[in-house]
Amino acid sequence: MDGSRRRAFVAVGGTVALAIALAACGGTSNNAGSGSSPAAMQPVDLKLMVGGLNKQIYLPNMLAKQLGYFDAEKINITLVDEGSGQGTELEVVAGNVDAGSGAYSHPVELNALGKKIETICQFGIAPGEAEMVATKKADSIKSPSDLKGKNLGVTDIGSGTHTITLALLGKAGYKGSDAHFVAVGAGNTFIAAIKNGTIDAGMTTEPTITRLLQSGDAKVLVDLMTPTSTKAALGGDYPFIGIFAKNDWVNSHKDVAQRLVNVYVKTLKWMKAHTAAEIADKMPADYLVPSKDLYVAALKNQLSIFGTDCKMPAAGPQTVLGILQNYVSSFKGKTANLSETYTNEFANKAS
């Protein structure tokens, strides 16, 4: 992983738990999901890396912190801000963080390599992305079939946005090598790449999408901001952002995993009961770029990508596996044991 990539650390909770407290929780029963008293829980330290904290598709991570739900489960959380889900998966595999927040395609890809991480909460049931085309190129790029030979922006090479873009190309009849991919990140760096012509089009998230639309610098080519539009573009449910951890960590820390999933189920239910404006009110002020009004408008566009219960959409894993097998050259001839790439165990027990 590129050591030059900047990371931000957000520590939550006033108690610094001893390592022995974490060890004491590992491998215990899932009482946290069945009504155990908060007073009976031991505080735990947990480091969670997020593939872009201020991206709206990752919103439940910071919102859970702002709502105090980590504290309620006695989790002293450290949120680590990483540029992409690709970097996040590598840090989870290396054991440098306890868990990560990134695209479900990463556990599937790693499983084929014998590296087992699993999604324990699937909160993003659609990508919440869009393929944006620079306005000055919009007359010549009107559909995915026009992306051949173009410079296409993705968060990072090997990222979830890269995989989705490969699928769009593949469904249009092209190979990944028929376009040139450029790692441009998100937010200001993506916008700069569109403006200065570094990329002709690219896959990005909110609020970057709305910023580009309001400035007039880009237009939506392919909409993946709702489950319905995603099915139309990709041919089925495409679960995207969730919480994953190494399988052996999950199996030896079931109480902690349950409490972590409890946090996200509570957060998702809170989101469903509140408006985009009310959600924005809970977010840090520096997330509302360039304004709260734009942030709210962007969030309204994609609120339906967030599930309510952390459960994996039933047909989603097979859709993701099929896209990897059909359109990602490095995955050709490979397969994955999907039962090892996600679990609904904790979501089913979450309070």
* Strands 44-50, 117-121: pairing kind: unpaired
Would you say residue 16 has pLDDT above 50? no
* 269 to 60, 128, 236: CA distances (angstroms): 11, 19, 25
Judge whether 8-126+239-349 and 129-224 match in fold: yes
Supply the angle between the helices 160-171 and 227-234 in degrees, to the nearest 10. 50
Residue 30 pLDDT: 37
Confidence of residue 84 (pLDDT cuts 50, 70, 90): low
Would you say residue 45 has pLDDT above 80? yes
Residue 89 pLDDT: 92
Q: What is the pLDDT of residues 297-350, one digit of tens each?
A: 999 999 999 999 999 999 999 999 999 999 999 999 999 999 999 999 999 999
Confidence of residue 9 (pLDDT cuts 50, 70, 90): low
Burial of 85 (0-12, 13-18, 19+ CB in 10 A): buried
pLDDT mean over 227-236:
97
For residue 217, give every residue at least 6 positions away whose Cβ sits within 8 Å of its Cβ, in sequence order, or none. Answer: 134, 135, 191, 194, 195
Q: Which two tokens stand for residue 123?
A: 């909160």
Say how far apart CA 267 and CA 123 lie, in whole Å: 10
Would you say residue 35 has pLDDT above 50? no
Confidence of residue 10 (pLDDT cuts 50, 70, 90): low
CATH superfamily of the domain spanning 8-126+239-349: Periplasmic binding protein-like II (3.40.190.10)
Residue 1 pLDDT: 38
Residue 87 pLDDT: 82
Q: What is the pLDDT of residues 235-283, one digit of tens each?
A: 999 999 999 999 999 999 999 999 999 999 999 999 999 999 999 999 9
Q: What is the pLDDT of residues 178-215, one digit of tens each?
A: 999 999 999 999 999 999 999 999 999 999 999 999 99
Q: Which CATH class is domain 129-224?
A: alpha beta
CA angle 276, 227, 215 (to 5 degrees): 55
Percent of the chain's residues with pLDDT above 70: 88
The overall pTM is greater than 0.85: yes
Residue 65 pLDDT: 98
Say how far apart CA 241 and CA 85 lie, in whole Å: 9
Q: Which of 22-31, 126-135, 206-215, 274-283 comes out lowest in average pLDDT?
A: 22-31
User: In this predicted model, which residue has the larger pLDDT, 298 or 40?
Assistant: 298
* In contact, 116 and 80? CB cutoff 8 Å: no
* In contact, 243 and 120? CB cutoff 8 Å: yes
Q: What is the pLDDT of residues 85-123, one digit of tens each?
A: 678 999 999 999 999 999 999 999 999 999 999 999 999
Residue 40 pLDDT: 80
CA angle 345, 347, 348 (to 5 degrees): 65
Residue 28 pLDDT: 33
Q: What is the pLDDT of residues 145-164, one digit of tens each?
A: 999 999 999 999 999 999 99
Would you say residue 12 has pLDDT above 50? no
Beta-bridge partner residues of 241: 103
Q: Which two tokens stand for residue 6?
A: 């900047």
How many other β-carbons are positioned within 10 Å of the β-carbon of residue 323? 24
Domain positions in the chain: 8-126+239-349, 129-224
Helix (H, G, I), strand (E, B) or coil at 42: coil
Confidence of residue 291 (pLDDT cuts 50, 70, 90): very high
